[in-house]
Amino acid sequence: MKINTTQYGVCNVVLDTYKSNDNLAVKLVDSDGMPVVFISTNIIPLMYGQFCANSNNIGVTLWNDIMQSGLFKDTGETVGSGYCEYPIMEMVTSDVV
């Protein structure tokens, strides 16, 4: 899965799992394999194919690129952690780990 970003060019979406609870871990790496950003953050156990979006730590331009990719959809639910709210996202593709 690839995302065309404004600042980093075409990046690859890498799927994995968090070892503590097997939640979906989603990160973005550039064409050289260098990490760009963790799209997900591990807060609470979620359903298969869902993740908490690390939207508070991703710039607006990159977040818009990620959302325009069509790979993820917002469930409309959020999870609070500290003073922040994190949207629960869902993979649109069937290529989930």
The per-residue pLDDT for 95 is 56
The per-residue pLDDT for 82 is 87
Q: Give the separation between CA 36 and CA 52, rounded to whole angstroms.
A: 18
In the 8-state DSSP scheme, what is residue 56? G
Read off the pLDDT of residues 5-59 as tens digits, 9 standing for 90 and up: 999 999 999 999 999 989 999 999 999 999 999 999 999 999 999 999 999 999 9
Q: Where are the domains of the chain?
A: 2-91
Burial of 34 (0-12, 13-18, 19+ CB in 10 A): exposed
Kindly report the pTM of this predicted structure. Answer: 0.87
Q: Give the separation between CA 38 and CA 29, rounded to whole angstroms.
A: 9
97 pLDDT above the threshold of 50: no
